[in-house]
Amino acid sequence: MNIRILNSREDLNATAAAVIASLLLNKPQAMLGLATGSTPIGIYRQLVEMYRKGQVSFARAYSVNLDEYVGLPPEHPQSYRSFMNEHLFQHIDIPLAHTRVPDGNAADLAAECAAHEQAILDHGPVDVQLLGIGHNGHIGFNEPGQGLKGATHVVDLEEGTRAANARFFGNIADVPKQAVTMGVGTILKAKQIILVAFGADKADIVKQAFTGPVTTECPASLLQCHPNVLILLDQEAGGWLI
Ligand code: GLP
């Protein structure tokens, strides 16, 4: 694992965006694995800026997202589809038909999970997978515990996860209780993984995930088994390393 501590969040965003942009320069038809949450927003802002300056094009790229809430229609303002459109897709030249966010509102969720895996097989493998990390060590929505699954599946969200995400909904009662998420096996098939974390509140879980044992009790720790992981931290999240 390559762990880097950046001086500022701007440096962190620029470093992650540069990896994605240089991938696209070398492989315009690359498949990007994308994440939601507050962490990647600055990276997407940076990519939009690079696109506007003509430094990168997504015209031939494909994207696949990690997860989506169950029960939210794609047009719901808090759906991850809306998030991606708002923060990235509508500002760049990626064809929307090349982007895939799981449909958490599908009538047959098992079929939707299988379709997500198939899309990765059709246009993948994922060349670079962007990840944040939850306070309990979750990646995507893979919650800690022995029930960790490999492939895309439906997961029950922990109360702590729902509470953390309630800030986007205004009221915890409105936060869905389930999500569709790529499994850890799906995530580990990406050729490269970039995990990004900032802020003092992520320091403990980042330390546990990358210096502690590999355990399903901390799903991010399974990334220790991947041969090409870049971990980008700001000073607050990575201070324990210095
Ligand atoms: C959500 C997402 C994760 C994300 C995590 C952390 O639960 N499903 O993909 O990594 O939140 O979010 P944030 O970046 O807002 O701390």
> pLDDT tens per residue, the chain (242 residues)?
999 999 999 999 999 999 999 999 999 999 999 999 999 999 999 999 999 999 999 999 999 999 999 999 999 999 999 999 999 999 999 999 999 999 999 999 999 999 999 999 999 999 999 999 999 999 999 999 988 999 999 999 999 999 999 999 989 999 999 999 999 999 999 999 999 999 999 999 999 999 999 999 999 999 999 999 999 999 999 988 86
Domains defined for the chain, CATH in brackets: 2-241 (3.40.50.1360)
Task: Name the closest-CA residue to atom 11, ligand 1.
Answer: 37
Peptide bond into 125 cis (omega under 30): yes
Q: Classify each residue of 102-124 as buried b or exposed e, where b means 16 or more C-beta atoms within 10 Å of its C-beta.
A: bbbbeeebeebbebbbebbeebb
CA distance 113 to 110: 5
Amino acid found at 169: F
Tokens representing 160 are: 């702590």
Q: Give the residue, by CA position, lying nearest to ligand 1 atom 6.
A: 134
Q: Which of 141, 167, 180 to mutate to test the pocket of ligand 1 (most atoms within 8 A of CB)?
A: 141
User: Which residue in the block uniquely carries the two structure tokens 């022995």?
Assistant: 146
**Which pLDDT value is given to residue 155?**
96
pTM of the complete model: 0.97
